[in-house]
Amino acid sequence: MTKRAIILAGGKGARLRPYTVVLPKPLMPVGEYPVLEIIIRQLAFHGFDHITLTVNHQAEIIKAFFGDGSKWNLKIDYSFEDKPLSTMGPLTLINDLPENFLVMNGDVITDLNFSQFYDNHVQKGKIFTISAYNRTEVSEYGVLERNKQGLLTQFIEKPKRDYTVCMGINMANRNILKFIPKDTFFGFDHLMYRLLELNEDVLIQKYEGYWLDIGRPDDYMQAIDDLEILKEKIMPWM
């Protein structure tokens, strides 16, 4: 059975400037490999044999680097956006999507078992499965609370708040296309609102391993440091 992945690689990487002025974000190096090559090698290791890269910004550089995928013993093809379509809109440009497929961002570092994630989605039979992660954010400020008279009732120094966030790694059934308008800027957020409105079942699969989105400079530098420690888990092919 062919295992298909769609990797979203068309963004401008604005949050990572000035690094991305020269290189597209998927080619930003994390250790000895560009982040997107790490993802592709991971997917090949987990049995994926067909990857489609959705490209827009600096598309020719990305195509020149990754080619047809033969270097990694899989097929790589490309879906070109002539205008920004956000994260879910590009799926409407791909005419040969299989019944179930992985769709993910091209800027995440993780040790997720992609094969298990794929199989779990297929077994559960849901239209969409989200890989999710717990993150704790610490406020930079002391927080004041007051009563109706404007008097201080509580002070909290740099409070912490826990969130369950999308890892940018999802599994989808082809029927998801019914909810995504063609040729329209349509993001993950738009899709979630629509599926909730229509009471469609969306599965959340919590993950407790390693995950980092390298979209911000601080996180990018953190990923480089983490890779030195977690290399065997993140790069199982080595």
pLDDT tens-digit map of 191-232? 999 999 999 999 999 999 999 988 778 888 888 899 889 988
Residue 101: name the closest of 90, 109, 111 by CA: 90
The DSSP result for 113-159, as a single string, is -HHHHHHHHHHHT-SEEEEEEEEEEE-SSEEEEE-TTS-EEEEEES-
Query: Rounded CA gap, 93 and 99, in Å?
Result: 16
Question: Is residue 237 scored above 50 in pLDDT?
Answer: yes
Choose between 16 and 41: higher pLDDT.
41
**pLDDT for res 22:** 57
Give this prediction's pTM.
0.88
Q: How sure is the predictor about 16, in pLDDT bands with cuts at 50, 70 and 90?
A: very low
Every domain of the chain and the residues it spans: 4-131+165-234
Amino acid letter, residue 96: D
**pLDDT for res 217:** 80
Other C-beta atoms lying within 10 Å of the C-beta of residue 1: 9
Architecture of the domain made up of 4-131+165-234? Alpha-Beta Complex (3.90)
Average pLDDT over residues 56-64: 84
Virtual CA dihedral for 121, 99, 53, 216, nearest 10 degrees?
Answer: -30
